[in-house]
Structure 1
């Protein structure tokens, strides 16, 4: 009787085991001409080319896995890469110059710029386009990475673009909104003055200590390059299929941003996910729970995120 039960169990489990793809996980590097960027490749084994997603992480020192020493360790992009691989979709995620293993390429953050990040994304894309293991190339950007993806896509030869929690407004508007009511009036006023000067392309070394984390002089060259960008305008220039994914419980980027991207690119598909926050988890709209989620690697990704993303990628031809 026991043997029969075991045999039935094997018959039931075997098809599930066979359905799981074999996935190669290995490092992948890019020689930029000014140093080597390091990344992680997940490649499902297949007898034909598979779609490949180039993941571009968000702002500040956010690494290839979506972790940030200032903003939490939650492995959001690593988990997303694993999800895609389990559905037969390859991915490459990488440390940007100046971040984690990319630190040697920009030991002085004064050398960083949006244009430099765009050029790196385009170089990664060209490397993947030349590899016969891959079919369609999808650029996926999270948060600020969504802007980099939209700017890089035309020259990268991307077949599609995905914006996840991407802003639909210039950054100065986002920063003003995030700081509003969270600083003493004098500091909020000074932050506004700094934003005005940086948006005009002017540096300002007189930064009060509480504002250094955002406006320190060494990061101002990057901010100047960022503040002259218009995410909605960049998204409007796309000529390939595009997907906009936005969580309704995101405390950093709002639904209005996603709707602004959709208005700029009416052909894009817009997906709003109830309960999803900025690190792609289902979390109550409560500040304490939100902050905790940024440092919780065990929380699963939002189910709707995976379903919509996989369906979109599989529809790209």
Structure 2
């Protein structure tokens, strides 16, 4: 069960928000492209810091990049997995296609930190992340170099929830989202996804002889009871077997319940008809394998949907069939399978 806790660490909302690491902005730039340090403020008064990568102020297409959940900063660097850098690489790829981009440190990460949430970090949940995304896309739309008819949003993992929220934002000042890149998306409700992973892990432990069937059932029953308690009463047990308390506990239950209340299928159904959408899944990604995302693809059938079934690609979009979290920070390019699909998608 410790394995599932480690694997879920890069997917799930952090049990305690702390500042994440950042790989900085001293990367070699393509000629004429500038990485500008910027900041903007969300509706809660939190100042978010980010990198606006652009080339002059002639209006052109622009993209907002939203990183994975938890302690993952603007560059895709994660306090658990290390300096992954995949979102920085995505920004650099988009530059090659003439697309400006904004990536930012979410609440609790990088230069942004907790701000006004510092007094109650356990209360930070999906609403705070969505507020940051809304502020970011409005900032991007207001830049002189942004063609507001060509704003795209590219997001990874749990970030895809906030990307779809932006596509359905009906506020008067909300920019229209031209297209969405939903990479390795969260395919269902938060606690349902965890429950499925727990069942797989317990079954594997029983089959390997590490647990008796009775011991396995005890773990499943305890987890099921904890999920029911969280959903019906908004509380969590102080102890759970096999390290599952790291995923759900009294300190993070409010954030978990808030995330669990979001149904990605309902959000997908509200994405405007005809919106170009690129959705990826991978046979090597235990968090977003292609079978698990099929209901999401069905919910997006009214869009101009492209589904990319990746082979041997890990959750951080690099070629690695093991999808081992320990390998996420190993240097390497984004998978050529992804960039080949993007070569066509960015022209839509």
Bin for the TM-score computed over the shorter chain = 0.7 to 0.9
Q: Is the 8 A contact 2:234 2:254 kept in 1?
A: no
SS at structure 1 position matched to 2:247: helix
Residue 270 of structure 1 corresponds to which residue in structure 2? Answer: 307
Q: Which has the higher contact order (CA 8 A, sep 6+)?
A: 2
Distance 1:310 1:207, change over 3 A: farther
| Structure 1: segments with no counterpart, 5+ residues | 1-19
Higher relative helix content: 1
Map Cα deviations across residues 2-44 of structure 1 (whole Å, 9 max, x no partner): xxxxxxxxxxxxxxxxxx6521111111122523111112113
- Does the alignment pair 1:259 with 2:294? yes
Distance 1:145 1:48, change over 3 A: same
Map Cα deviations across residues 52-81 of structure 1 (whole Å, 9 max, x no partner): 111111121111111222234321111111
Q: Give the Cα separation in 2 of the matches to 1:74 and 1:153.
A: 27
Residues 273-312 of structure 1: pairs in structure 2 closer than 5 A: 273-284=310-321, 286=322, 290-296=324-330, 298-312=331-345
Residue 182 of structure 2 corresponds to which residue in structure 1? Answer: 163
Residue 236 of structure 2 corresponds to which residue in structure 1? Answer: 204
- Does the alignment pair 1:57 with 2:67? yes
| Structure 1 residue 86 displacement after superposition | 2.0
Residue 115 of structure 1 corresponds to which residue in structure 2? Answer: 127
Q: Is the 8 A contact 1:198 1:227 kept in 2?
A: no
- Does the alignment pair 1:68 with 2:103? no
Distance 1:218 1:125, change over 3 A: same
* Max Rg structure: 1
Single out whichever of 179-188 and 93-102 deviates more from structure 2: 179-188
Residues 1-317 of structure 1: pairs in structure 2 closer than 5 A: 21-32=31-42, 34-45=45-56, 48-105=58-115, 106-107=117-118, 108-135=120-147, 136-155=150-169, 156-157=174-175, 158-182=177-201, 185=216, 186-200=218-232, 202-208=234-240, 210-239=243-272, 240-266=275-301, 267=303, 268-284=305-321, 286=322, 290-296=324-330, 298-315=331-348
When normalised by structure 1's length, the TM-score is 0.85
Q: Give the Cα separation in 1 of the matches to 2:326 and 2:126.
A: 30
Map Cα deviations across residues 185-234 of structure 1 (whole Å, 9 max, x no partner): 33343222222222335212423372232113221111111111111110
Q: Is the 8 A contact 2:81 2:326 kept in 1?
A: no
Distance 1:310 1:132, change over 3 A: farther
Q: Is the 8 A contact 2:238 2:245 kept in 1?
A: no
| Structure 2: segments with no counterpart, 5+ residues | 1-29, 203-214
Residue 12 of structure 1 corresponds to which residue in structure 2? Answer: none
SS at structure 1 position matched to 2:253: helix
